[in-house]
Amino acid sequence: MPPSDRPIPAGPSGPSAVDDPRLAIVGLSCRLPGAAGIDQFWNLIREGRTAIRRFSDLELADAGVSEEAAADEAFLPCGADVADPGAFDAAFFGFTPEEARLTDPQQRLFLECAWSALEDAATLPADHGGRIGVFGASGWSTYLFNNIMRSSEHAGLATSKPVMIANDKDFLCTRVSYRLNLCGPSFTVQSACSSSLLAVHLAGQALRAGECEVAVAGGVYLTLPQTAGYHYTDDSTYSRDGRCRPFDRGASGTVMSNGCAVVVLTRLADALARRRHVYAVIAASAVTNDGAAKIGYVAPSVVGQSAAMRAALAASGLAPAEVGYIEAHGTGTVLGDSLEVRALSAIYSAGGGKAAGGNGTLPCAIGSVKANVGHMGMASGVTGLVKLALVLDRGVIPPQAGFDEPHAQLALGRTRFVVPRTARPAPELRVAAINSMGGGGTNVHCLLTPAPTTARPAASPGPYLIAVSAREEAALRDRITQLRDHLSEPGALRLDEVAWTLVAGRAWMAYRWAARVDSIPAARAALDRYLAGEVQVTDPLAGAWTGESPPPLEMLGDFRGDRAVPLPTYPFRRDRHWIDADRPGRLGGPVLVSGSR
């Protein structure tokens, strides 16, 4: 249970406290097909791979697909699944086993990713007096319909209060706020496939208004069972070959997917003052709706999308010609992609060819993460935002997975847009954009820039305290193993910044270990000794940190000017909490509510 002895923090500080409207993305987290975390996700993108796959006969059978249905020539045994959707660290968040079993796996996954993103942001739930907001989106609970309602244990209880609270979308964000004791604004956002990027936009508004100091924003989408495949029809938006290839001449539709992605935002000035790692800066965002000026309710609109782009540019003060990369909605449907390219071209390309637009601008790369991980419905927008933040943070434009030649209907040759075929360094990339749209017409557009360059004083020689803690002894060993592996990877890690992140940006938990070292190699050696069985803490300062209360930060090292750095996040226990259906019937395959989007 969250602590109840801390008073509710004071209300909004008001917009007068905010002079610079820019926001910093300071934390990232994800659980996606083929990627259990951020580094795996980046490797998938950078290498141009796809996690969309064909399911085995056994996986189809386990999902309830009959041999007759699987033999249908219109059936595609394809999709993109997240590993272990039933796994959840119930004890970490104070759930009883029964609470965990009853709770929609989407909400459990979102909760774990919210914690991981806050850790990645070196932000504790108690920081800022708990004035941390939560903004998120989810799909509807297929776990409720396909598991709970079909179990003898819960037959007839679908409308009971415990089942409703455990599975309704309304409780996605407030459950995170309750379990982590966060007291900022907290609500679920729903606008179909643009929901999670809309959550980011609303989080930004709350930060600028002073309603919270930090915001968690994201989305989750799980359709259970994940390995059920789908039936293709000529009038559907699904791919007829089981592949998702936005912009490609062979594109024939989208492939639905599953996953979760979360970002942590704060005002840029606050991020720099608190020495957080900034992945990217959100210069501005805007939201519009198509209204009725389109061919159908769930169809895209060139006018509506262009209006959102124009509004975001106006709010940012940036020029269209400055944008060098666009993460498109890009579902792989020819109609949806062609209308999106028309909207983008109307704002970002004034005609002319790829070598130089009619306005004299340089080429602009365009991509879509759906080729890598499929279409995650309500979580698709924030998944693209995580990709875009990594592009800016690592200075590399990745290849577009599955792309061979452009589709003629997109007329890319008459724009300045180029679909990248290989990964390339992009030190010149100063502005990037992301576009998202949802069935029903809500469009969201954001403009991002790289993190500002800040002066970093030289590190003092140390020594520094490397400190690790966890809720359980097994998790402590896992955390130490994670850190040991991370410190062995190539890169210019600074010991002072690693130490600062560990002592200032991680919660102090029941099982603790620490060592005082003067270099990264010495830190690795100390971690190796622990893993070899030398668990005794001998250094007095390390012993004080592992004692009854942690010493003041100023005693742990000279951290003046140090900034937080990305480090591995908490290794949750993967216990299975699941209700199995034991009555016949199933709701069906994935549902796409966004038409030709």
pLDDT at 246: 98
Averaged pLDDT for residues 87-115: 98
Q: With a threshold of 0.85, does the pTM exceed it?
A: yes
Averaged pLDDT for residues 174-190: 98
Amino acid at 17: A
435: helix, strand or coil = strand
Averaged pLDDT for residues 124-149: 95
pLDDT at 361: 61
CA 342 to chain centre: 28
Whether the pLDDT of residue 12 is over 60: the answer is: no
Give 541-568 pLDDT, tens digit per residue.
999 999 988 888 888 888 888 899 999 9
Average the pLDDT over each of 127-141, 372-386, 453-467 and give the range with the smallest value: 453-467
Given pLDDT bands bounded at 50, 70 and 90, which one contains residue 352? very low
pLDDT at 283: 98
Give 26-64 pLDDT, tens digit per residue.
999 999 999 999 999 999 999 999 999 999 999 999 999
Name the more confident of 578 and 235.
578
> Strand (E) positions, 5-90?
23-31, 53-54, 75-76, 78-79
Tell me which residue has tokens 């847009």.
417
The answer for residues whose C-beta is within 8 angstroms of residue 440's C-beta and 6 or more apart is: 191, 192, 289, 297, 298
pLDDT at 586: 55
Q: Alpha-carbon distance 324 to 536, whole Å?
A: 53
Given pLDDT bands bounded at 50, 70 and 90, which one contains residue 19? confident
**Which one, of 532, 535, 528, 534, lies nearest residue 513 by Cα?**
535
Given pLDDT bands bounded at 50, 70 and 90, which one contains residue 518? very high
pLDDT at 3: 32
- The full DSSP string for 558-585 is --TT--------------B------SS-
- Where residue 397 falls (left for φ over 0; alpha for ψ -120 to 50; beta otherwise) is beta
Q: Alpha-carbon distance 573 to 575, whole Å?
A: 6
Share above pLDDT 90 across residues of the chain, in percent, rounded to a whole number = 84
Given pLDDT bands bounded at 50, 70 and 90, which one contains residue 358? very low
Q: Alpha-carbon distance 191 to 443, whole Å?
A: 9
Q: What is the mean pLDDT of the chain?
A: 92
Share above pLDDT 70 across residues of the chain, in percent, rounded to a whole number = 92
539: exposed, middle or buried (Cβ count in 10 Å: 0-12, 13-18, 19+): middle
The DSSP 8-state label assigned to residue 248 in this structure reads B
For residues 578 and 86, the answer to whether their CB atoms sit within 8 Å is yes
pLDDT at 461: 81
Averaged pLDDT for residues 470-482: 98
Q: Phi and psi (nearest 5°) for 284?
A: -170, 160
The DSSP 8-state label assigned to residue 246 in this structure reads T
**Which one, of 359, 364, 200, 209, lies nearest residue 283 by Cα?**
200
- Where residue 72 falls (left for φ over 0; alpha for ψ -120 to 50; beta otherwise) is beta
Q: Alpha-carbon distance 541 to 515, whole Å?
A: 8
pLDDT at 4: 33
pLDDT at 582: 86
Q: How far apart are the first and last CA of the chain?
A: 42
Whether the pLDDT of residue 18 is over 70: the answer is: no
333 half-sphere exposure, CB direction, 13 A CA radius: 22
Q: How far is CA 174 from CA 59, 156, 230, 381, 562, in A?
A: 34, 26, 33, 21, 34
Complete edge-to-edge strand list for the sheet that includes strand 214-221: 186-188, 132-138, 214-221, 259-267, 23-31, 280-289, 442-449, 431-437, 323-327, 364-367, 417-418
Whether the pLDDT of residue 347 is over 70: the answer is: yes
Q: How many residues are present in the chain?
A: 597
Domains of the chain listed by start with CATH number: 21-273 (3.40.47.10), 294-449 (3.40.47.10), 477-555 (no CATH)
Averaged pLDDT for residues 195-210: 98
> Strand (E) positions, 427-574?
431-437, 442-449, 464-470, 511-517
Whether the pLDDT of residue 17 is over 70: the answer is: no
- Where residue 596 falls (left for φ over 0; alpha for ψ -120 to 50; beta otherwise) is alpha
Give 303-313 pLDDT, tens digit per residue.
999 999 999 99
